[in-house]
A and B are shown apart, each in its own frame.
Chain A
């Protein structure tokens, strides 16, 4: 299998993530969408590392990204909790204070 297949999977995963972020009504789905996008990036890092001549760089970045995703998930969930306390909902369309 060539590099194209990996990139295709990655692109699909990225697109699914974007769609999830933009369209879903529940904030948890949005977080999932974010995770998908990060993993799409990971697939790219690993694939390009496998097919390229770059030592361990790609894999190291993938590991960083996973750690970053974990931290992001923790912070995001805390935000979600606060949003829930504040608005009594987790629908992103209802939390529209930025409009003001």
Chain B
């Protein structure tokens, strides 16, 4: 029986979300899906398909923002935002209820809408709409324009579904759908035969992204299995759990949290070992999806896809999914898991930021910056600052989407050159792009009162909170703090380096002699070569045929591309960022995320400084975080200004002097090479061996069996022909010859017959008489 379970909605009359809101959430899911279906089947036959899909996404954005504002309002008024037991999430869904199985074996497909989901949903809605709008300009004239729109729409659908999923299995379905869509979108240019660079790169990069994230996905799946099985066993053996959760579904988030609390309470306050193991596996999913060390290698290559796709992957979807999963599973993580999470996150934050310093490809800088920022979020969750991590995910989604779209705008304006060494001085030529990018750079660098400042501050606060609470030098908190602070400084440095190299100074272009000419000749371009990409499709039709790559005149992008930039940048500016900070931190708290009981339990496990901002420790940690944050941000800005405005010759000299360091960074710590030598090549070699085995042993066996069969067949045929056929023929022959013999009597002459009859009669009579 497939019934619609909405009892939780009906129960909460005091809640602020109505049934209509629930239907709006369904609409949010259906609009992109219907758009995708229309577009993928009709393709170019659908008139104005791009406008229809973008319009649909506008509706989605409006709904998500409306519902999020409702959530903020409800929490502000002290109302229970939600209907389910008065505090957590709006739950409703389709329940597969087979009559004769226990409840935990039922599959639940439902919608779960809580403050965190509300925030994330609004982010996905806004960013997706901006990306759609931007793509209308950026992808204009692309050969697979319609398919691109269809795919990006389904990509959005996947992320929306992931955010709204009310159980981890349902989440995993969307998780995998997102993996597939990222594969298709990164490989968008792999069908583009006109540009061998993009053709090869996109094909390879899409495979790499798909396979690398698959490792993480396998881990997550194993984690889900362990949680399911062990929770079920724990529920069966615990009277308290059965009383608290009569209809237990081990995969539903709300019940997993509650169950975790009960399990830990019954285990004497300690997390059982299986929870640590399952948590580590689930974190493996985040490592893959959110590009954490060492599975980060797919993300920089993901920029082989069109720039709007990069904006999508790096901001609202895909990588955000991993962090979002951490937010959803946080109560299930034991301290050991959290320590692991912190270490991976902190290492990733520092490590990726250091690579960002030496990249010259505009998009590569942003790609490594994304990895680094994801490291910040993951480390924040590990340090107990789950709210800080989620908040950074939200602010990062806006400024990183804006940065990527701005980069797309710059690349579009510079005729598909991505190397910053041939840019420069674009400030006056692309004023809107410059302003938007500047705002977002200040946000990501953590300049005070821009959005990133608040979220990064919260993360550093989490690190300080752990450090103060535990004894000094207690291991991973200090490592985390050092990595994060240094990472933040690098972030500020490379982002302003990007701004200075791209928008300040004079326009360098291709032909003139300039600072980087020698370097360019030596190392070659990063990203696509400046020439030979004229017909690669995107973005050329709107500015005539004459200036295709020949004249290098740089121009501002059309409004359809700059408007999304402005929308996204607004979130980052001071004032608005303050509002967003207030909304988020007041709306999303452990209690509002996980419910009163679990939230209180989660809070009890946190350092005081994080759990209570108004405590003495909280203030101390906050001040320390503020100081560190200000120091690293300004150090980065000043450093970038010194190296890339004042003393432009210094970077090259330093690179020469510390050649080994430079080479290591330039080659991205040789991770790709290590992966290549350590995993890919052994795998390939194994494949070769297997192929040999296949060819020489398996095939030979198969062939031998075949030959044996054939020989047996011959034998059988011979026997058949000789003996079986012989018997049949012999029978035939005998009948035939007998027939021939008998036929002699059959003359057709009636007189003869009469004579026989008479003769027979005489003989009969004679025999009768004689005997």
A joins B in a complex: yes
Which A residues are closer than 8 A to B by beta carbons?
A: 18, 21-23, 30, 92-93, 95-100
User: Mind listing 8 A-B residue pairs with CB under 8 Å?
Assistant: A22-B751, A22-B754, A23-B751, A96-B747, A96-B748, A96-B749, A98-B748, A99-B746
**B:733-764 near A, CB below 8 Å:** 746-751, 754-755, 758
Contacts of B749 in A (CB 8 A): 92-93, 96, 99
A100 CA to B749 CA in the complex, in Å?
11
Contacts of A30 in B (CB 8 A): 751
Q: Does the CB pair A93–B746 fall under 8 Å?
A: no
A18 CA to B762 CA in the complex, in Å?
12
The total of interchain contacts (Cβ-Cβ below 8 angstroms) comes to: 28
Q: Does the CB pair B758–A99 fall under 8 Å?
A: no
Interface size on B, residues (CB 8 A): 9
Contacts of B746 in A (CB 8 A): 98-99
> Nearest Cβ distance between residue B156 and chain A, in whole angstroms?
89
- Give the interface SS of chain A, mostly helix, strand, loop or mixed: helix
Contacts of A97 in B (CB 8 A): 748
> Nearest Cβ distance between residue A41 and chain B, in whole angstroms?
14
Q: Does the CB pair A22–B758 fall under 8 Å?
A: yes
**B:711-750 near A, CB below 8 Å:** 746-750
Q: Most chain-B Cβ atoms within 10 A of its Cβ — which of A95, A97, A99?
A: A99
Q: Does the CB pair A21–B751 fall under 8 Å?
A: yes
A89 CA to B582 CA in the complex, in Å?
130
Q: Does the CB pair A92–B758 fall under 8 Å?
A: no
A20 CA to B758 CA in the complex, in Å?
12
A29 CA to B755 CA in the complex, in Å?
15
Closest 4 A/B residue pairs (Cβ): A99-B748, A96-B748, A98-B748, A22-B755
A18 CA to B747 CA in the complex, in Å?
20
In the complex, besides A92-B749, A99-B749, 20 extra interface pairs with C-beta distance below 8 angstroms are A18-B758, A21-B751, A21-B754, A22-B751, A22-B754, A22-B755, A22-B758, A23-B751, A92-B751, A95-B748, A95-B750, A96-B747, A96-B749, A98-B746, A98-B748, A98-B750, A99-B746, A99-B747, A99-B748, A100-B748
A95 CA to B758 CA in the complex, in Å?
20
Q: A18-B758, A22-B755 are in contact. Are A92 and B750 (CB under 8 A)?
A: yes
Contacts of A21 in B (CB 8 A): 751, 754
> Nearest Cβ distance between residue A24 and chain B, in whole angstroms?
8
Q: Most chain-B Cβ atoms within 10 A of its Cβ — which of A21, A95, A97?
A: A21
> Nearest Cβ distance between residue B295 and chain A, in whole angstroms?
93
A95 CA to B751 CA in the complex, in Å?
11
A93 CA to B753 CA in the complex, in Å?
11
Contacts of A22 in B (CB 8 A): 751, 754-755, 758
> Nearest Cβ distance between residue A77 and chain B, in whole angstroms?
16
> Nearest Cβ distance between residue A21 and chain B, in whole angstroms?
5
User: Closest A-chain residue to B756, C-beta based?
Assistant: A22
A95 CA to B749 CA in the complex, in Å?
7
> Nearest Cβ distance between residue A9 and chain B, in whole angstroms?
19
